Amino acid sequence: MAPASSRPRDLPAIIPAIVASIAATVLGAGLGELVAALISPSASPFAVIGGGMIDIAPAWAKDLAISLFGTADKTALLVGIAVLLLAVAGAAGVVERRRPPWGRVILAAIGVIGALVSLARPDAALLSPVPSLVAGVAAAVVAGLLIGRLRPAAVAPEASTGPTRRGVLALSGVAVLAGALAAAGSVALSSGARAVSAVRAALRLPTPTTTTAVPATADLGIDGLSPVITPSSDFYRIDTALVVPQIDPATWSLRVHGLVEQEIVLRWDDLVALPQKETVATLVCVSNEVGGDLIGNARWLGVPIRDVLARAKPTAEADMVLSHSVDGFTASSPLEALTDDRDALLAIGMNGEPLPLAHGFPVRMVVPGLYGYVSATKWVSELEVTRYDRAEGYWTSRGWSERGPVKLQSRIDVPRAGARVAAGDAVIAGVAWQTHVGVAGVEVQIDDGAWQPARLASAISTDTWVQWSLPWTATSGSHTVRCRAISTTGETQTPNRALPAPDGATGWDEITISVA
């Protein structure tokens, strides 16, 4: 430790040292991203660290992140990583100023940690550690050079002048600019993403052999009510991929193996040559809270999974299929849910177009009746036929329920919670679902009055949500509105509130509105 009396003379150089270390880290991070764009986008230092954090996060942390940030959870994670990285960089600057070379060691160590994490990722390649190592080494070297210009002040304060510190700050600004330009260059050089996007744009989907009709009466035509078919651009996205995988259909393959009589491998041309089915199905995330919007309904085109599994011939002891994504995610689906009469698909199309890249292009799974964490694997590459007592999926290994059937739920869309409504004729409307079971009715309660039956739109099938509405003569004052659904099996939606973990939220959606 330096004598206390020397600290006041040291203070004027601390802030430039912090700035210099942060600037060096920004430059290193930018160079790391640039190198990743050139050799392997999935090896991006930010994506590697973020993916590692997602992998080790407990179930409650994932649920909290989604409840706080919704589909912006990945952006929030990346911002959090950046803030933490800059804080560590600032601390490393102080250490480097007072105890060189330990500040540089800290910055280099961050790069080494990133490299080690990249090697542990499921999609690791030979060059995966390079971007993180480049980032760490560059940050350490530049920090050492910049902070070294401040060091004479600790020996002979009179030898250090204002211009020296100003020069370091100026060079730090140059480093930040260079880092920003490198990061921008990484985006511009993401040729793989552009190439796959171009392939997707030129792709022509096969004609389905069977389709599911959407009756005109499925849409009640009420302003503010969720549309029957969710536009692809509005469809929720929850997954573990910080960098969207870029997969050319020409290189894609699906391996079906495990407890099967015949292991098979399907390539893109094999898959599109099979009979295609177009169906409408609602997908819902297990993290969807009561009244939440982590749910969507779309047209899906693909091959029934049961047809593919029939080729492989699962053995009698199998009871589960562990689907694998190229990004390392796995989902454990009941074998019976993939082989019964539901339209469980290896989907290649969404709403009349090839799957969007962020929704699993070129191939993903769609399984009505199950929450996404046990069924909706994007960028699917393997179907491993196995047993529940031998394997478990990504989220089930983190404490979520094993099978994940979708629970009976309903939601109020109109009016919005907290809205001000004009007195007189009004409408209360929303959607209800229990996929692969179906909804037979919805009831609405205003304040503490009697439950009133709502009007249901025509259901597309038991695998989709259904719109509902109730006319209402709104009177002045504050009102509480609740809804509950009734399934086709006679079950009434429970009022008991439960959080999403470990197997889906329960309770009635309830809003408070003000009538003028």
Strands 420-421 and 509-515: parallel
Tokens found for residue 469: 């509405």
Instruction: Reduce the DSSP state of residue 473 to 3 states and report it.
Output: strand
- List the chain domain ranges: 4-189, 216-398, 409-515
CA distance linking residue 79 with residue 428, whole number of Å: 39
For Cα atoms 245, 130, 74, give the angle at the middle one, nearest 5 degrees.
40
Query: Per DSSP, which regions of 37-187 are E strands?
Result: none
Q: How many CB atoms lie within 10 A of CB 202?
A: 8
Q: How many CB atoms lie within 10 A of CB 1?
A: 7
pLDDT of residue 6: 45
pLDDT of residue 155: 43
Instruction: Reduce the DSSP state of residue 65 to 3 states and report it.
Output: helix
CA distance linking residue 145 with residue 163, whole number of Å: 16
Q: Which residues, in sequence order, are CB contacts of 7 under 8 Å at separation 6+?
A: none
pLDDT of residue 9: 54
pLDDT of residue 153: 45
Which contacts qualify for 350-356: CB closer than 8 Å, 24 or more apart? 350/232, 350/235, 350/298, 350/299, 350/300, 350/301, 351/229, 351/231, 351/232, 351/298, 351/299, 352/205, 352/299, 353/205, 353/232, 354/200, 354/203, 354/205, 356/232
Which residues are paired to 283 by β-bridges?
Answer: 296
CATH number of the 216-398 domain: 3.90.420.10
Residue 329 C-beta-side C-alpha neighbours within 13 Å: 25
Query: Which candidate, 84, 39, 408, 375, places its Cα nearest to that of 239?
Result: 375
What is the tens place of the pLDDT at every residue in 320-345? 999 999 988 999 999 999 999 999 99
What is the tens place of the pLDDT at every residue in 368-426? 999 999 999 999 999 999 999 999 999 999 889 999 999 999 999 999 999 999 999 99
Name residues of the chain where pLDDT drops below 70: 1-13, 59, 62, 151-163, 190-193
Query: Which candidate, 87, 88, 57, 90, places its Cα nearest to that of 74?
Result: 57
pLDDT of residue 487: 98
On whether the CB atoms of residues 342 and 436 are closer than 8 A, the answer is yes
DSSP for 257-286 reads EESBSS-EEEEHHHHHHSPPEEEEEEEE-T
Class of domain 409-515: mainly beta
On whether the CB atoms of residues 410 and 484 are closer than 8 A, the answer is yes
State the residue for tokens 């600790």.
Answer: 154
pLDDT of residue 82: 87
Strands 380-386 and 253-258: parallel
